[in-house]
Amino acid sequence: MEKKYKKIILITAPSGSGKTSIVNHLMKKFPQLSFSVSATTRQPRKGEKEGVHYYFISEPEFREKIHNKEFLEWEMVYEGKYYGTLKSDIERIWKENKVPVLDIDVQGAIHVQQQYPVNTIAIFIQPPSTEELKRRLKLRGSETDQSLQARLNKSGYEMTFKEHFENIIINEKFENACKEADKIVGDFLNN
């Protein structure tokens, strides 16, 4: 396969920053993109589909995949739940001559960048403020007090890695954030 197709787009952010909505927007706008479906040991949320949003697997299965080196990267992101990017999913997308979009946490994005320093861009989506982040997470209604707090704590920690990323979008107004993302992704795909 020609090297020019082996690109990767990483979208990363603290949880609740609106990253998933921006990813969904990009997927609609650029048909050459394909969402990389991660494996996770967390429970599906309402409306989430197996093989579309995630591959929902058990912890023993996840550990076996770690052992078999099936992951490009993996992290224990929240409350003992594992998340990982499957090499097979990236290969599948490249075979289709498409560009994988990875919606992953900050540590995971840094790991992928280390392995693929060229032909990869990372976009960091920053929530406007901690108060707004809290409001959005509460609105989602899927978090317990404990998991909300865990996500807020992690968010503060993840913000400290912001400067690591070459593209930072502040998601104050969704339309503006999408426009900025369109420009970054469009330029990257055309290069």
Q: What is the number of other CB atoms lying within 10 angstroms of the CB of residue 135?
A: 13
- Distance between CA atoms of residues 104 and 32, nearest Å: 20
- Complex with ligand 5GP: residue 66 or 187, whichever CB lies closer: 66
Binding site for ligand 5GP (CB under 6 A): 15, 38, 42, 73, 75, 77, 83-85, 103-105, 108
The full length of the chain comes to 191
- Strand arrangement, sheet containing 120-126: 33-35, 99-103, 8-12, 120-126, 167-170
Q: How far is the CB of 176 from ligand 5GP (least distance, A)?
A: 21
Among 171, 190, 119, CA closest to 181: 171
Among 22, 4, 2, CA closest to 101: 22
- Complex with ligand 5GP: residue 3 or 167, whichever CB lies closer: 167
Q: How far is the CB of 58 from ligand 5GP (least distance, A)?
A: 16
- Distance between CA atoms of residues 97 and 2, nearest Å: 9
Shortest Cβ contact with ligand 5GP: which residue? 108
- Complex with ligand 5GP: residue 50 or 187, whichever CB lies closer: 50
Q: How far is the CB of 128 from ligand 5GP (least distance, A)?
A: 17
- Complex with ligand 5GP: residue 88 or 187, whichever CB lies closer: 88
Q: How far is the CB of 15 from ligand 5GP (least distance, A)?
A: 5
Binding-site residue numbers for ATP are 13-20
